[in-house]
Structure formats: structure tokens, C-alpha cells
Amino acid sequence: MNHRVAIPSPLRSYCAGAATVTVACAGDSPSLRDVLAALESDYPGIRFRMLDEQGHLRPHIKVFVAADVERDLAVRVPPGADIMIVAALSGG
Amino acid sequence: MARTAAKHPAVKRTEAPKRTRLLIATRKGLWTLTTDGARRTWKLAGPQFLGNIVHHAMLDPRDGKTLLVAARTGHLGPTVFRSTDNGRTWKEAVTPPAFDAGSGRVVDHTFWLTPGHASQPGVWFAGTSPQGLFRSDDGGANWKGVAGFNAHPQRKAWCGGDQDGTPDGPKLHSILVDPRDAAHMYISMSSGGTFESNDGGADWHPLNQGVRADFQPNPDLEYGHDPHCVRFAAGNPDRLYMQNHCGLFRLDRPATRWTDIGTGMPKAVGYVGFPMVPHPHDPNSAWIFPMDGTDVWPRISPGGKPAAYRTRDGGKTWKRQADGMPKSQAWWTVKRQAMTVDRFPVAGVYFGTTSGEVWGTRDEGRSWKCLAAHLPHIYAIESV
């Protein structure tokens, strides 16, 4: 199943500047972790900038699955659902 | 232990370099300042990595063309960028410094980069926040934790928790590799103290006798100190200079007890600061840049009157050097990696300020000049 992933500007250098990419995952309902692994496979290096070495999303990165914010990487991604990665708005 | 002087390159005054380049790591990217042999005019170039928080940039002196940059952004995780053509092109490390999965520890940023021993081309060491020691064997492309430190059974006792330490996060810094012996190393931590390894990092032991830790209930500790910067004296890796949270110290090996060399500082200025910069040729000479460590630790130049201080006698006495610097109302200071020297026979000394100015002297501190202004907060300067 393919999923469209919206890439925030700080991460687009890994995707040749693309604002949206499509990744292929095995099965109809992969976990969010699987989708991000597929993203890393296509665009090496991108995962460690979003996830720390313990596999957790970094504090200022948010991920939407369809319309919902998810921090649990085990959550299942519905068939065909879009993913949106956001560099959170913070600071002054 | 005794290490023969014969293994160590002879101390000599080198010929004047044809040029000097300063690598200026800032909170918003990397800049360079370049000058010719006269050191009268400087050319500012940059930024590279605009928007990245660059904690350190370092040239590999073994090949003269490999540059590493420790960077992160406000949103993204830490990484290392590397160039093998002196900064013209860059690639990101394939495997940046990161703690082992399952350890529960997370690298916030890579803080310090040190090229390895001359006999080990391609080897680099990195110190991180929180305190971690990492090694690359391929010129910075892939990094692995030094298990002898990161997994040492005493590490947590030495360092405290990952949330403890300085306001910008606890750090491992001042990675020193003995030029006579690749297996002999020192590291320092804020906080944690200074540690020594005689086996290339497989094991470590504390080396803090005589160093104050006024912030601890028991100030005479084996570890838990806060060295801000530790450097080898010029041409003498048996002498170490330390700028500490609680003073200035010198260690002459094989002794294991540090000597207090802060007593010669004026009381009104104190002995607190971040950088410690030995002279490039004279092992008795070094510079420091004091800051206000009183009251709530403002971390600015004492009284708004910035000045460097220099010793020529191993720290017995210190002389104020501020000619050319603002005489009042200058509220910046200099971070621990943001002061350096060049290799000229009459040394140039350079520092970058928290207000984004680069200052330099080409007469060993007799007169200072602002070389660049309006840069972001400067974290580190290296002269290459």
C-alpha cells in the first residue's frame, strides 16, 4: 500500500526538495513505524533527524496520520491514509 | 607513567603560516574569516549551514582538507557534516553519534570534535551532550560509542543524570590525545570532572585531586567537578591547563594533584571563565577570558569591561590585556571553545563573543581589534 507523506521544509534536503513523497509499505495497514522505516529506506538519514536513537519522536516533531496527531509509532495507518510530518511551531 | 620526550615532536617556533583561517561556529551557522601572512585585513565568508546550530567545526591537521561540523537545528536531531575538500562540498555522516538503542540515552547535540592521533588517520573523537564519547574510524562518516566510557559501570556516578549539569545541557569536552601515545587520552565533563585513559578509551579513571568543587557539600571529591576547558601546554603534553567553574588549575604529570593557579587573578575579576588557550609555542604561557561568576552567575564580562588575561609563568601571575576592547558597557562573554591561537611565531589570539563579534590580536594581546561583527551568538572558533 502506498502512502503520501508531507515533508516539512527542514527535512526536504533529504528528498531532493520534495514537499510530498510517496512510500510503499507491505500490507494494507502498516504501523506508523513501518511507514517511517520505508521513508528512511527511500531517503537515508531522514529518520534520525525525526526520531532519536531510542526510537521516539523528537520533541519538536509532530506526525499526523490522516487528521490525528500521533506519537505512538505502533499505531496502525489506515489504508491509503496520508501522513504529515510537521516541525512544530515553537520558540521566539 | 613516564612517556619519553623522544616520541614527541620537538618544540620549535614554526615559520609564519602563509594564511590563517578562522572557523566560526555560531548558533545560526558557520562562517569563516581568512587573512594572509600580514594578518592586517580579513575576509568574512559564509554562512554555510544557515539556521543550523553549529557547536564546533574542526579541520583535520593530518590531511589539511577534511572538515567536520557538529550541527543540529531547533527541530531536528543532531548530526555531523563532513567535507573532504576543505569546505567546498559537504556530506552528512551516515551514522552520526548516537547512544546504543536500549540504553535509554539520547544525544541532544555533538559538542566537541577532536582529530585522533597522527598515527591513526581517519580516527576522530566526539563529545556530546549529555556526556558521551564517540569515535569514528573513517573520517567522520560513521560513529560508534566508546563503550569503555559510555558503558563504564561508574559513568552515571561520575556524570550524574542526563538532565543535570550546565544550563545548555551537561557536556563531554576537551578530548585530548597525547601526541606521544595514541592510547593515552584525557576527557573532561561539565559536570563530572577530568578523566584519563591509558588504553585508548577501554577504561578511565578520575584525575581531579586538588581541583575545587565549591558547589558540592564535600568539596574534596574524587569526581563530580566542573572543568570548563582543559588543554595541553604548547609542546608539553605532560602539562595541562584547566579553566574550571571554581578556578584555574595546572597539572604537571606524572603528578596527579592539580595546582591552583588562580590566586594571581585580581579579586574584583575573579577566576571564573570558559576558555583556556595555551600559547602555541611557550608552555608557560596561556590566555583566559574571565566572566562574572558571582551572585546568579550573569555569565558576562565582569562589570561590562571585557578583558583577556595572560600568564607567562605557568599561572603564577596574570596580566590584563584589553587595549582596543570596549572600556565599559560591553556585556558579552566568550564560550569555552570560542577562543584560539594561530601558529605564527608572534601568536595571534582570537575570540568570538556571545554577541556575535570576532576579536583578534596579532601581537599576543598587546592590542585587540574587532575583526567581524553582527554575527550570531558564537559558540566556537578554531584557527586553521
Q: What is the DSSP string of B195-241?
A: EEESSTTS--EE--BT---TTSSSSS-SS-B-EEEEEEETTEEEEEE
Reported as a pLDDT band with limits 50, 70 and 90, residue B378 is: very high
B254 touches chain A (CB under 8 A): no
What's the confidence (pLDDT) of residue B14? 64
Question: Taking CB atoms and an 8 Å cutoff, what residues of chain B touch A89?
Answer: none
What pLDDT does A66 receive?
93
Residue B7 has pLDDT above 60, yes or no: no
Can you tell me whether residue B349 is helix, strand or coil?
strand
Inform me whether the C-beta atom of residue B163 falls under 8 Å from chain A C-beta atoms. Answer: no
Closest CB from B75, B101, B103 relative to A87? B75
DSSP 3-state assignment of A34?
A: helix
- What is the per-residue pLDDT for B2? 53
Identify whether B219 is preceded by a cis peptide bond (ω within 30 of 0): no
pLDDT classification of B329: cutoffs 50, 70, 90: very high
Report chain B's mean pLDDT, rounded to a whole number: 94
Check CB contact of B98 with chain A, cutoff 8 Å: yes
- Select from B251, B264, B254, B175 the least CA-distant residue to B210: B251
Q: Which of A53, A60, A88 sits opposite B99 (nearest CB)?
A: A53
8 Å CB contact of A54 and B106: yes
User: Are the Cβ atoms of A60 and B74 closer than 8 angstroms?
Assistant: yes
Taking only the tens place, the pLDDT of each residue in B31-82 is 999 999 999 999 999 999 999 999 999 999 999 999 999 999 989 999 999 9
> For residue B140, is pLDDT > 50?
yes
pLDDT above 80: residue B12: no
Q: What is the pLDDT of residue A91?
A: 57
The predicted-structure confidence for B141-183, as pLDDT tens digits, reads as follows 999 999 999 999 999 999 988 877 677 899 999 999 999 999 9
| pLDDT of B316 over the 90 cut | yes
Residue B346 has pLDDT above 80, yes or no: yes
Q: Each residue of A29-72: pLDDT tens digit? A: 999 999 999 999 999 999 999 999 999 999 999 999 999 999 99
* Residue B266 DSSP SS3: coil
Q: Do B92 and A11 touch (CB under 8 A)?
A: no
- pLDDT for B6 equals 39
pLDDT of residue B8: 41
Q: How many CB pairs under 8 A join A and B?
A: 52
ipTM: 0.90
Q: B299 pLDDT exceeds 60? A: yes
Q: What residues of chain A lie within 8 A of the CB of B107, using their CB? A: 52-53
pLDDT at B9: 43
**For residues B363 and B310, is the Cβ–Cβ distance under 8 A?**
no
How far B99 CA lies from chain A's nearest CA (Å)?
6
Residue type, position B89, single letter = T
Q: What CATH code is assigned to B98-383?
A: 2.130.10.10
What share of chain B has pLDDT > 70, as a percent? 96
Locate B65 and state its grid cell: 582538507
What's the confidence (pLDDT) of residue B5?
45
Cβ contact (<8 Å) for B104 and A44? Answer: no
Straight-line distance from the first to the last Cα atom of chain A, in angstroms, rounded to the nearest whole number: 40
Q: Are A39 and A21 in contact (CB under 8 A)?
A: yes
Identify the pLDDT of residue B3. Answer: 64
On whether any CB of chain A is under 8 Å from the CB of B103, the answer is yes
**Cβ neighbours for B348, distance < 8 A, ≥ 6 positions apart:** B20, B39, B341, B342, B360, B361, B362, B383
- What are A78's three cell numbers? 489506515
CB count, 10 Å around CB of B266?
12
CA distance B293 to B225: 16
Mutate to test the interface with A, among B50, B73, B75, B81 (most CBs of A within 10 A): B75
**What are the residue boundaries of the structural domains of chain B, listed by start?**
98-383
Question: B175-218 pLDDT, tens per residue?
Answer: 999 999 999 999 999 999 999 999 999 999 999 999 999 888 88
Report the first-to-last Cα separation within chain B, whole angstroms: 32
Domains of chain A, CATH where assigned: 2-87 (3.10.20.30)
pLDDT confidence of residue A90: 59
Nearest chain B residue to A47, by CA: B77
